[in-house]
Amino acid sequence: EAGVAQSPRYKIIEKRQSVAFWCNPISGHATLYWYQQILGQGPKLLIQFQNNGVVDDSQLPKDRFSAERLKGVDSTLKIQPAKLEDSAVYLCASSPAVATSSYNSPLHFGNGTRLTVT
Amino acid sequence: AQSVTQLGSHVSVSEGALVLLRCNYSSSVPPYLFWYVQYPNQGLQLLLKYTSAATLVKGINGFEAEFKKSETSFHLTKPSAHMSDAAEYFCAVSDSRIGNEKLTFGTGTRLTIIP
């Protein structure tokens, strides 16, 4: 099966600019996650979608970050305006629907988008 | 709230030697525990998982981990290190309740293999 696809792989922007990342999860996976991984740290959950609904966005800085998952498939994560501390790798992950016992096939991660804010 | 603590941000072992990466967890409910590996410029790949069945869990690439409730630990081991094991390893915990499977990661341990 095809894996989780993310684009772009790398992005360099200046502070106060805006940026968007795209994620295409594994076909049929109902749950989608965006994680932020700052250099030297573990990934931190930003937002979790179940189909096209938000399950958890408690750690998403909503004054500058937004995410959507139209039609319950692809997702975009946007930052506007970017700050220096937003420099990180943004990882997208997907998993099957909860009803099908997601732990038999846990999170599948994409290769991430590395964002550098200068 | 759940959390994991990985002891040692960097671990170096000689090729052929035992690999031991330490992880301790904190959870108010029965946890599910995971180890992921991350190679440079790649996403995370699942090594193994504990989901309340056998306490000794075997994963891919010869790795295994043992869940010890009394010690709140889930250490990762491999009997004989290989050069290809050089990577960053993350321990993660999640709630065992259905619908709460989002992961909380540790800060990672970078494993270096000495030829």
- Across the interface, of A56, A103, A110, the residue whose CB is closest to B32 is A103
Residues of B in contact with A55 (CB under 8 A): 99
pLDDT (0 to 100) of residue B98? 60
Mean pLDDT of chain A: 90
pLDDT (0 to 100) of residue A100? 45
pLDDT (0 to 100) of residue B54? 85
- Rounded-to-integer distance, Cα B67 and Cα B65, Å: 7
A98 to chain B nearest CA, in Å? 6
* Spatial CA neighbour of A45 closest among A26, A65, A73: A65
Segment A44-62 mean pLDDT: 92
CB A23 within 8 Å of CB A6: yes
B108 to chain A nearest CA, in Å? 6
B21 to chain A nearest CA, in Å? 15
The verdict on B103 touching A (C-beta cutoff 8 Å) is: yes
The stretches in chain B having pLDDT less than 70 are: 96-101
Nearest residue of chain A to residue B110 (CA atoms): A40
pLDDT (0 to 100) of residue A102? 45
If you search the block for the tokens 């306490």, which residue do you land on? B55
